[in-house]
Amino acid sequence: MFAPLDDGYLVIEAPSSFLAVGRALRQLPLCIETSGGEVVQGLCPDDLVVASAPGGGPLMPALMLIELVRRYGQPLVVLPKGHPGSRRLSVVVSAGPAIRVACGIQRGTHPEQDLLCGSDAFAGLRLSGVPGGIELSGAPPGLEIRSLPALPADP
């Protein structure tokens, strides 16, 4: 299924969790910091930045996380497996040309950007960035999608 997307967001909602999806909008380096060092993933304008709130909650932190990545180029810090801080993360983010949602991983502990921690309701969902929007496949039934405009630039 194709869903159009400009510089705003798509919010994909399940009853108690959600994903927020934005396009990268520009070419930028995404720095991924792990205990083993730094790797840099180049993002293209049509690539996706997807924030996931596996336990639900307010939407704004997810939108802000998308902007921290795509607008301000903040690095992603990856926790080691089993790190106690994992359970403190209410929102996690991945960025790249295609992202698969998985429910069997610990929040914030996987550096590979084609995989994003999500709730059971999104299991199997795959999002791909395409010109003018996103392509969704493997979407479980019952998800709702709505569009939101981009957050304003710095005041």
Residues that bind another protein (CB under 8 A): 27-29, 31-32, 34, 36-44, 80-81, 96-97, 102-105, 109-112, 115, 123
Q: What's the Cα-to-Cα distance from 11 to each of 28, 31, 63, 147, rounded to whole Å?
A: 23, 25, 10, 6
CB of 111 to another protein, least distance (A): 5
CB of 91 to another protein, least distance (A): 19
Residue type present at position 151: L
Residue 63 vs 93, nearer CB to another protein: 93
| Three-point CA angle 36, 85, 101, nearest 5° | 80
First-to-last C-alpha distance (Å) of the chain: 36
CB of 34 to another protein, least distance (A): 7
Residue 41 vs 90, nearer CB to another protein: 41
Backbone dihedral angles phi then psi of residue 40, each to the nearest 5 degrees? -125, 125
Residue 27 vs 147, nearer CB to another protein: 27
Residue 5 vs 30, nearer CB to another protein: 30
Residue type present at position 49: V
CB of 117 to another protein, least distance (A): 9
d(CA 107, CA 81) in angstroms, rounded, equals 9
